[in-house]
């Protein structure tokens, strides 16, 4: 049979190219931890289904971001003492460029100033560091501009990631009003939102973000969430004992809900970012406090009547002033941001190593399950191809079946190198048919 005729018969039988997408910010293309990727490997290990792995100059809790054939991530280089911005080739892992920014810092609790994830729109890539350096490059590695927003009045290492959305670079700084442990100004530290022009760093707007919180409860490690409901675009911000919505064009506050901290406890720093889905916005209060579902579309000062549900009732709350409660005391998240995927929320109690699948409409728990392992989880869950991925401190990567009516742990693999003493906090990134797993010493690209 002639070759052209043979090919014409075989081509319909060959698989079509897989849809490939980017992971251009720390929570992925939908800002909720999910990706439309398919064709991902069902099983993997340090040697199975590894496209490539490369040694990194040092650790970071930042999630890699991927656009096209480039992977961007920061690293704290212990050999040089520098915090570095790295760009790798997505196909091979080869270093395309590196820029050393300044000396990195650490709080002595396994975190360092390279914790914020970078962000890119395919033209510009922005790196932000806990020391305050904000640096923009072209994706080819040419520095566009640089400025320092620090020092920040944080007890621990500042770790909010930047956001690129609708042509604006948005930075959130929610901090103490007075210095702590020698960090920040003695008095007058402001909490604010800042919008810059990505290509030039020119300020577009800056607005203060007031708070009634006290001491450490003013500190937030969260990242703003771009959100649209019934045609109204918002930036949703959480921290300082409250959740707020802002006009992206001006930063003006549109609405505010709070508080989960009615007695103004002073050590409730806020880590999880807000997550949207099913017409509600999730606010995960810290230190075993409830998860609150705020109805979208609010205006002005909201009350408990504007909640769709909450996971349980705190002792400090009056029964008449709370939303419908599911009485699920373990349904709480002190650090991981929730995932929204396939019409459901997935909320990770990292301390108890338990994952919950939750109905957005009423907070009903569809299923829950124990992940096991020996250490806590602070990385936020991500999902694609019908599976959920999350990593614990020990670099155990867990794969859980998404959806369904029961918890199913599908696979577990450990990625820790000998001598790697990092407490692993980086989320698994998903892009172009690959899973990207970051440890304290290496970056793995996994794929079929």
pLDDT tens-digit readout, 291-344: 999 999 999 999 999 999 999 987 665 544 667 777 899 999 999 999 999 999
Compute the distance between CA of residue 272 and CA of residue 283 in angstroms, rounded to an integer. 8
Cβ–Cβ < 8 Å for 31, 25: yes
Domain count, the chain: 1
* CATH number of the domain enclosing 397: 2.130.10.10
pLDDT at 327: 84
pLDDT at 23: 98
Compute the distance between CA of residue 301 and CA of residue 354 in angstroms, rounded to an integer. 34
Residue 372 has pLDDT above 90, yes or no: yes
Query: What is the per-residue pLDDT across 144-186, written as a single tens digit (0 to 9) for each?
Result: 999 999 999 999 899 999 999 999 999 999 999 999 988 998 8
DSSP annotation of 112:
B
C-alpha neighbours within 13 Å on the C-beta side of residue 76: 23
Query: What is the per-residue pLDDT across 191-229, written as a single tens digit (0 to 9) for each?
Result: 999 999 999 999 999 999 999 999 999 999 999 999 999
Cβ within 8 Å of residue 305, ≥6 positions away: 323
DSSP annotation of 263:
T
- Domain-embedded: residue 3: no
- Domain-embedded: residue 288: yes
pLDDT at 283: 98
- Domain-embedded: residue 1: no
Compute the distance between CA of residue 140 and CA of residue 155 in angstroms, rounded to an integer. 36
The predicted model scores a pTM of 0.94
- Domain-embedded: residue 4: no
pLDDT at 356: 98
- Domain-embedded: residue 2: no
Cβ within 8 Å of residue 361, ≥6 positions away: 278, 279, 280, 308
- Domain-embedded: residue 14: no
Cβ within 8 Å of residue 111, ≥6 positions away: 61, 156, 157, 159
CB atoms within 10 A of CB 252: 12
Torsion, Cα 186 192 197 202, to 10 degrees, reads -40
Region of residue 196 (phi > 0: left; psi between -120 and 50: alpha; otherwise: beta): beta
- Domain-embedded: residue 34: yes
Q: What percent of the chain has pLDDT over 70?
A: 93
* 3-state secondary structure at position 422: coil
Write down the mean pLDDT value for the chain.
93
Q: How far is CA 146 from the centre of its chain?
A: 23
Compute the distance between CA of residue 121 and CA of residue 433 in angstroms, rounded to an integer. 19
pLDDT at 326: 77
Distinct helix (H) and strand (E) counts, the chain: 1, 35
Cβ–Cβ < 8 Å for 235, 252: no
Q: Tell me the CA distances in angstroms from 99 to 72, 158, 301, one per residue in order.
A: 11, 21, 45
Q: In which domain, by residue range, is 318 found? A: 24-446
Query: What is the per-residue pLDDT across 60-98, written as a single tens digit (0 to 9) for each?
Result: 999 999 999 999 999 999 999 999 999 999 999 999 999
Q: What is the CA radius of gyration of the chain?
A: 22
Compute the distance between CA of residue 211 and CA of residue 217 in angstroms, rounded to an integer. 10
Task: Classify strands 70-77 and 82-89 as parallel, antiparallel or unpaired.
Answer: antiparallel
């Amino acid at each position: 049979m002639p070759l052209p005729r043979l090919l014409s018969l075989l081509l319909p039988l060959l698989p079509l190219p897989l849809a490939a997408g980017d992971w251009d910010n720390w929570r992925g293309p939908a800002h909720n931890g999910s990706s439309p990727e398919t064709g991902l490997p069902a099983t993997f290990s340090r040697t199975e289904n590894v496209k490539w792995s490369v040694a990194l100059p040092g650790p970071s809790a930042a999630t890699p971001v991927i656009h096209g054939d480039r992977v961007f991530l920061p690293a704290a280089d212990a050999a040089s003492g520098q915090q570095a911005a790295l760009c790798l080739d997505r196909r091979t892992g080869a270093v395309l460029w590196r820029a050393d920014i300044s000396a990195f810092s650490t709080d002595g609790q396994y975190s360092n100033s390279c914790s914020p994830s970078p962000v890119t729109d395919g033209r510009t890539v922005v790196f932000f560091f806990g020391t305050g350096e904000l640096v923009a490059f072209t994706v080819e590695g040419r520095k566009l501009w640089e400025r320092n927003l620090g020092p920040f009045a944080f007890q621990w290492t500042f770790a909010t990631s930047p956001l690129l959305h609708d042509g604006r670079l948005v930075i959130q700084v929610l901090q103490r009003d007075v210095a702590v442990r020698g960090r920040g100004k003695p008095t007058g530290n402001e909490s604010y939102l800042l919008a810059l022009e990505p290509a030039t760093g020119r300020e577009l707007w800056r607005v203060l973000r007031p708070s009634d919180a006290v001491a450490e409860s003013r500190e937030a490690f969260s990242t703003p969430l771009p959100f649209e409901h019934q045609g109204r675009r918002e930036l949703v911000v959480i921290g300082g004992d409250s959740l707020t919505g802002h006009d992206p064009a001006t930063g003006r506050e549109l609405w505010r809900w709070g508080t989960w901290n009615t007695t103004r406890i002073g050590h409730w720093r806020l880590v999880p970012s807000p997550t949207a889905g099913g017409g509600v916005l999730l606010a995960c209060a810290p230190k075993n406090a409830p998860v609150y579902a705020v109805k979208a579309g609010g205006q002005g000062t909201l009350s408990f009547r504007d909640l769709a549900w909450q996971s349980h009732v705190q002792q400090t709350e009056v029964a008449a002033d709370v939303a419908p409660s599911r009485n699920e005391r373990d349904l709480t998240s002190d650090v991981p941001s929730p995932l929204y995927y396939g019409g459901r929320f997935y909320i990770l109690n990292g301390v108890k190593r338990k994952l919950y699948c939750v109905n957005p409409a009423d907070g009903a728990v569809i299923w829950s399950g124990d992940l096991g392992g020996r250490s806590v989880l602070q990385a936020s869950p991500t999902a694609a191809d019908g599976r959920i991925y999350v990593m614990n401190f020990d670099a155990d990567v867990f794969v859980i079946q998404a959806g369904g009516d029961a918890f199913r742990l599908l696979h577990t693999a450990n990625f820790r190198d000998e001598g790697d003493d990092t407490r692993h906090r980086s989320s698994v990134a998903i892009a172009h048919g690959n899973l990207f797993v970051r440890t304290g010493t290496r970056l793995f690209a996994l794929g079929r």
